[in-house]
Amino acid sequence: MKKPDIKSIFDSFNHFNILIIGDVMIDSYMWGKVNRISPEAPVPIVMSAKQENRLGGAANVALNVQALGANPILCSVIGKDAKSKTFYSLLKKRNLTQEGIFEDESRKTTVKTRIIADNQQLLRVDEEIDKELTKETETKFINHILTILSDHSVNAIIFEDYDKGCITPELIRSVVEFANKNNIPTLVDPKKRNFMEYKNVTLFKPNFKELVEGSKIDIPKGDFDGIFRASQKLHSELKSKYLLITLSELGVFISYNGSYKTIPAEIRDIADVSGAGDTLIGTASLCIAAGLEPELLAGISNLAGGLVCEKVGVVPINKDQLLEESLEKFS
């Protein structure tokens, strides 16, 4: 592939609308110092110095899609509570639309609070409801999504599932049916609860652990033939076009049309693997929308996931840096 082709692919990202459906959350951080132990219990006292709220979960996928130049439309269910106001303010701060956000008074807006002292996480406090949506809310939310899909020209749909109940089997069936009728590619970042519900999607992206559990085939991580057998079983059951498996330090594995390719991980100074999966599937959605061949799709997505691992904390991809490395590697 010639350099102008890679450049034009990245330029095409700017014209895409990507719908992201999934569990959103607020990642809250409290930083401080520990100078003494509490007299009330054998626990450290953290003197709080700074607090910060960030968009997390499926919202981080939206930030990565946005960072690559595309227009993300985030669809999720949050609570009608004080934290929802914080969530909306974070969307506004990052210039993300709230069009796809649906409120439910019976649910909480998910917040994960991390207490960090001297660069070490001491505690995480989760505020959430992870039950499935009620049937009434599910029906309203599905109709809300289908209305957005009808009103917008959408180039790809991502299901970003964190097992918090926002994505249900009926929602998956309804959206995938609409997408397939309208030739919109669908991508899935699955979790355990709905793992086998994602039938007839374009790209299914489990990690190695999820693949082993989902296929019920016990295989060593470096056994690519074994991974291929497990992937073929999933292809058969899910009827997915592509299976993109993340293997952390071993890179990624993509299977399609009865064959597979492995893309080794880039040698990097790993600072933090948080958010790499979000970056990878966000990048993959744009590559699919651009019509890339599976091996190049996997290669660029793998590069993107590796790049964000060089940064501390959950940060979106840098498009210029990804373009530069893609030109070097794939031209």
* Residues catalogued as catalytic: 278
Query: What is the C-alpha to C-alpha distance for residues 256 and 267, in angstroms, rounded to an integer?
Result: 26
For the residues of 222-261, what is the DSSP string, one character each?
T-HHHHHHHHHHHHHHH--SEEEEE-GGG-EEEEETTEEE
**Residue 185, CB-side half-sphere exposure with 13 Å CA sphere:** 22
Q: Exposed, middle or buried: residue 187 (CB in 10 Å: 0-12, 13-18, 19+)?
A: buried
Whether the CB-CB separation of 133 and 141 falls below 8 Å is answered with: yes
Whether the CB-CB separation of 32 and 117 falls below 8 Å is answered with: yes
Whether the CB-CB separation of 46 and 34 falls below 8 Å is answered with: yes
Positions of E strands within the chain: 17-22, 24-37, 44-57, 71-79, 101-104, 111-117, 120-127, 156-160, 186-189, 203-204, 242-246, 252-256, 259-263
Q: What are phi and psi of 257, to 5 degrees?
A: 50, 40
Whether the CB-CB separation of 59 and 96 falls below 8 Å is answered with: yes
Task: State the DSSP H helix or E strand holding residue 326, giving kind and residue range, or none if neither.
Answer: helix 319-330
Closest by CA to 118, choosing from 207, 44, 172, is 44
